């Protein structure tokens, strides 16, 4: 992808994609899934050095990354004022003068992600922008509240205006190999979402092995997940390249078998522009350009946008700005 193609694709509307309807649980397919940890780690170790883009090409890829960010605030001290400021940042993610220089006026982030209590504030602040509100749900981040309350939380968030729901799975189902229970849980969450798209957070840092990550990914897609997501951002280990490679290849296998595309969202720990570029190159290599659109790929991030803006300012002016000059992101 050249710089002009990347710039144009950053402004493309979300493409119409048939929603993953799910399928019957296929335990034979699940049991056959393996993960060669050493081979996966070797492949990932080569990624940062293999895909190096500079100058206009780098700027174009960074603009693309902005359009794929779920700009997130998930803190206990969130206030309506903070959420409104974050929504303003989603509408105008980069200094207007920089965007004019780059020919990218109108660029926005992919979504805003908040707790349930902040949905109404975010929906009002984003009115008319076309930016969807995503809400974390199902007892986020641990997912240990009573099941009927987790389902009710989804329904309340959809009613409040969330167009996307980020649910957390029960890790114990994966750790004990109870794939039927995970499938039934995910299917119930998908049904509760109705027309809202559902992202299944696997909390991969707590699943014990890459094989468990691969199998959990597959089961969630069989149950109708629209996206699979690495982490809540609250675990000790969040998004990593090996985990991403495993999940991306599960998505590819599911597409090859069923014809339905499922999205991918790495979240937690991605705070530097250079890291975003590595993830984008991995997606391009493994899944192709179609997955480089907001309906199939998102970054879950809060500080990534600030570093991208600093890199774009350097590209335009030749100098880095101080971090404190940038609004919250």
List, for residues 88-114, the tens digit of each pLDDT value.
999 999 999 999 999 998 999 999 999
**What DSSP element (H or E) covers 114?**
strand 111-114
pLDDT digits (tens, 9 = 90+) for 200-243: 999 999 999 999 999 999 999 999 999 999 999 999 899 999 99
Position 327 scores a pLDDT of 57
Q: Does the active-site annotation cover 285? A: no
Q: In what order do the strands lie in the sheet with 111-114?
A: 263-265, 227-229, 197-201, 164-168, 133-136, 111-114, 69-72, 299-301
pLDDT higher than 90, residue 117: yes
Which is higher by pLDDT, 16 or 84? 84
Position 51 scores a pLDDT of 59
Q: In which band, very low, low, confident or very high, does the pLDDT at 302 lie, cut at 50, 70 and 90?
A: confident
The number of beta carbons lying within 10 Å of the beta carbon of residue 8 is 14
When pLDDT is averaged across residues 70-84 and rounded to a whole number, the result is 96
193 near 142, Cβ under 8 Å?
A: no
CATH number of 3-12+26-325: 3.20.20.70
Enumerate the β-bridge partners of residue 300. 70, 267
- Note if the bond before 298 is cis, omega within 30 degrees: no
Single pTM value for the model: 0.92
| Separation in Å, CA 195 to CA 144, 158, 159, 178 | 25, 9, 11, 28
Q: In which band, very low, low, confident or very high, does the pLDDT at 323 lie, cut at 50, 70 and 90?
A: low
Q: Does the active-site annotation cover 127? A: no
| Residues 308, 310: Cα–Cα separation, whole Å | 5
Kindly give the interhelix angle for 179-193 and 147-160, rounded to the nearest 10 degrees: 30
Q: Does the active-site annotation cover 117? A: no
| Separation in Å, CA 297 to CA 14, 209, 261 | 11, 24, 11
Residue spans per domain, the chain: 3-12+26-325
Q: Which of 64, 89, 199, 265 is catalytic?
A: 265
Q: Which of 64, 89, 199, 229 is catalytic?
A: 229
For the four alpha carbons of 101, 279, 195 and 119, in that order, the dihedral sign comes to: negative
pLDDT digits (tens, 9 = 90+) for 256-279: 999 999 999 999 989 999 999 999
For the four alpha carbons of 106, 109, 111 and 114, in that order, the dihedral sign comes to: negative
The number of beta carbons lying within 10 Å of the beta carbon of residue 289 is 12
For the four alpha carbons of 95, 269, 84 and 194, in that order, the dihedral sign comes to: positive
Position 318 scores a pLDDT of 83
């Amino acid at each position: 992808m050249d710089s002009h193609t990347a710039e144009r694709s950053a402004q493309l509307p979300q493409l119409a994609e048939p929603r993953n309807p799910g399928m019957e649980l296929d335990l034979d397919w699940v049991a056959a899934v393996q993960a060669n940890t050493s081979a996966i780690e070797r492949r990932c170790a080569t990624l940062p050095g293999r895909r190096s883009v500079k100058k206009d090409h780098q700027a174009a890829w960074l603009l693309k990354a902005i359009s794929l960010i779920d700009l997130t605030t998930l803190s206990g001290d969130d206030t309506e004022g903070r959420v409104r400021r974050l929504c303003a940042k989603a509408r105008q993610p980069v200094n207007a003068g920089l965007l004019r220089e780059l020919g990218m006026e109108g660029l926005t982030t992919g979504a805003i992600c908040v707790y349930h209590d902040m949905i109404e504030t975010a929906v009002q602040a984003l009115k008319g922008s076309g930016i969807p509100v995503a809400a974390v749900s199902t007892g986020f981040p641990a997912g240990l509240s009573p099941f009927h309350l987790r389902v009710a939380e989804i329904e309340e968030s959809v009613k409040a205006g969330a167009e996307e729901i980020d649910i957390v799975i029960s890790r114990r189902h994966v750790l004990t190999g109870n794939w039927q229970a995970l499938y039934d849980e995910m299917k119930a969450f998908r049904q509760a979402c109705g027309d809202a798209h559902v992202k299944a957070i696997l909390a991969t840092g707590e699943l014990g092995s890459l094989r468990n990550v691969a199998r959990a990914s597959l089961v969630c897609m069989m149950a109708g997940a629209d996206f699979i997501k690495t982490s809540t951002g609250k675990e000790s280990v969040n998004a990593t390249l090996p985990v991403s490679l495993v999940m991306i290849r599960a998505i590819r296998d599911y597409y090859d078998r069923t014809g339905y595309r499922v999205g991918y969202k790495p979240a937690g720990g991605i705070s530097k522009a250079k890291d975003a570029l590595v993830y984008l190159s991995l997606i391009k290599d493994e899944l192709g350009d179609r997955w480089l659109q907001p309906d199939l790929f998102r970054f879950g991030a809060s500080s990534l946008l600030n570093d991208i803006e600093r890199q774009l300012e350097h590209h335009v002016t030749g100098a880095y700005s101080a971090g404190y000059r940038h609004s919250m992101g």
